[in-house]
Amino acid sequence: MNDLLERYLQAVGRYLPAKRREDTLAELRANLLAQVDDQAEERGRALTDAEVAALLKRHGTPILVAIRYLPQRSLIGPALFPFYWFTLRRGFPLVVLVYAIVQAMGAVMAESAVERMGEALLRFPSVALMFWTVVTLVFVGLEFALAAYPMRSSWGRNWDPMKLPPVSDEGKSPTFATRMADVIVTGLLWFWLLAVPFKPYLLLGPGLQYLRSMPAGLSPEWRIFYLQIVVLTLLQLVLKVAALLHWNRRWQRGLALVIEAVGVGALAVMVQARTYFVPSGDVSFAGRLASINSAVNLGFKVALAISVGKLLWDVARLWKGAGRYGALALQ
Amino acid sequence: MKTFPTLEVFDSLRQELRRGSLILAVLGQLRSEHYGYTLRKALADQGLAIEESTLYPLLRRLETQGLLTSEWREEERRNKRFYRLSDEGREVLKLLVAEWQGIDASLRTILKEE
């Protein structure tokens, strides 16, 4: 019987700090022996090994018993944890955005944009891990500092409710009149776009005469770009008409994102084109055209990088919003 | 019949409710000297059963906080650690009992309609 008890105490002792081990085990031994004695008295005989084993099993696994004797420890305590969680939640989308913009800029400047984006995606988990590690370490440091030097200031009490920002309009739906005006403007824009190939001066104005006098013409890629813009505007028009009939913020925002993604695709097509103006007669003009094409390509690349960044930001906001609406729906 | 999550919630709330009360009971019981095992038995006999794995570390913690004093002494040919309330513990117990009585009175009024 004693052998089993000593083995149990030895197992518990493995997890106890050396400083208090002997004292704790002696007390535990005394209490367990008293319990054994009590049961033996009840039964009128010494306990069998199986009965002692059952008693020890009820008392608890050695590691759990030992842990209860240790001081309560936490890397980030309950007072600081909400701030830690808030920082992670607020900071992570910003990390994603900055990383996406930097990588998108790098990708559009690189020879192979697709390969560069693939590499960026593969590298992202380590960036996210680094962010989590840094934030966690900062808060662990704060926890230790606060434990060592408890805050005596009135921080957290000196705030003024009068300084709270006004209620945001974000959750409010636009009025029917606003939505109707939006449909009309988008409709006019679409008809204007349809008219441009037949009446180019609607787009270029007096610049049309200058363009016609130049020994250069537009490359066929502009037609593809034009068609994409027409289709995108039409999609927007359809979406806005649908919003006029039935307003649902979540799916409207979802569809708007799809359209935004198609817009990014259109820009990507133009980035790949590289030739936007072609010589039409005077071959000596070809050298200047090359630098113009290069400048226009750079412009499209910058626009693409900004669009990708904005798309990711909107996706993150929709995602966050979905979580909030989901939580509200559960209430 | 109560569903599993309801029982789980109840169990967690019950433990929360008991946690503070057990400290009060332990301090109250240690107005007279006890060692771990007899303390546990005394509490159980009065309807407040408490796990050994909860009680013994709690005694250590209360001693570290200066509310209990302890001494090793031989009894029935065995060395045992006896605990009793310290002077500081006596003061704290007085305050806690007053607080408890206030809570008890308030709760009785609040829950009267139930």
Judge: A30–B53 Cβ closer than 8 Å, yes or no.
no
User: Which of A249-263, A273-287, B88-102 reaches the highest mean pLDDT?
Assistant: B88-102
User: What pLDDT score was predicted for residue A86?
Assistant: 93
CA atoms within 13 A on the CB side of A170: 8
* Exposure letters A128-164 (e unless 16+ CB within 10 A, then b): eeebeeebeeebeeebeeeeeeeeeeeeeeeeeeeee
Nearest to A75 by CA among A144, A3, A167: A144
For the record, the structure tokens of A193 come out as 């776009």
| Of the listed ranges B10-19, B20-29, B93-102, the one predicted with least confidence | B10-19
pLDDT digits (tens, 9 = 90+) for A83-121: 999 999 989 988 988 888 788 777 766 667 667 777 888
Annotated domain spans of chain A: 2-69, 81-150, 176-330
Distance CA A186, CA A238 (A): 10
Residues 6 or more apart in contact with residue A23 via CB below 8 angstroms: none
pLDDT at A327 exceeding the cut of 60? no
pLDDT tens for B42-76 read 999 999 988 888 888 899 889 989 999 999 988 87
Which range has the worst mean pLDDT, A177-186, A198-207, B15-24?
A198-207
Bridge partners, residue A277, by sequence: A218
CATH number at residue B56: 1.10.10.10
A275 and A221 Cβ atoms separated by less than 8 Å: yes
User: Which positions 23-62 of B are in contact with A (Cβ < 8 Å)?
Assistant: 35-38, 52-54, 56-57, 60
pLDDT at A77: 85
For residues A289 and B104, which has the higher predicted lDDT (pLDDT)? Answer: B104
CB–CB of A69 and B36 under 8 A?
no
Asked whether residue A187 carries a pLDDT value surpassing 70, the answer given is yes
What DSSP string runs through A156-203? Answer: TT---GGGSPPPPSTTSPPPHHHHHHHHHHHHHHHHHHHHTTT-THHH
- Exposed, middle or buried, A270 (CB in 10 Å: 0-12/13-18/19+)? buried
Q: How far is Cα B72 from Cα B108, in angstroms, rounded to an integer?
A: 42
- Non-local CB neighbours of B78 within 8 Å, separated by 6+ positions: A30, A33, A34
Find the radius of gyration of the CA atoms of chain A: 35
Q: Record the pTM.
A: 0.55
Q: A34 — phi, psi (to 5°)?
A: -65, -40
Predicted local confidence at residue B97, as pLDDT: 95
Q: pLDDT: is A75 or B66 the higher one?
A: B66
| Confidence (pLDDT) at A151 | 66
Position A92: which residue type?
A: F
In angstroms, the first-to-last Cα distance of chain A is: 57
Residue of B nearest to A67 (CA): B57
State residue A262's pLDDT score. 82
pLDDT at A221 over 60: yes
- Say yes or no to pLDDT of A153 above 80: no
Q: Which residue of B36, B53, B54 is in closest CB contact with A27?
A: B36
pLDDT score recorded for residue A247: 63
Q: In the prediction, which pLDDT does A326 show?
A: 44
A30 → closest Cβ in B53, B57, B79: B79
SS3 A148: helix
pLDDT at A84: 94
Helix (H) or strand (E) holding A103: helix A81-109
Q: With a cut of 80, say whether residue A325 has pLDDT above it.
A: no
Enter the DSSP assignment of B65: T
CB contact under 8 A, B60 and A69: yes
Q: What is the mean pLDDT of residues A276-289?
A: 72
C-alpha A58/C-alpha A31 separation (Å) is 14
Provide the number of structural domains found in chain B: 1
pLDDT in tens, A31-69: 888 888 888 888 888 888 899 999 999 888 999 889 888
Q: Decide if A257 contacts A318 (C-beta within 8 A).
A: yes
List, in sequence order, every residue forming a beta bridge with B80; answer none if it has no partner. Answer: B73
- For B8, the domain range is 4-113
The pLDDT of A138-155, averaged and rounded, is 79
Report ipTM (2 d.p.): 0.73
Q: Which residues of A touch B53 (CB under 8 A)?
A: 59-60, 64-65, 68
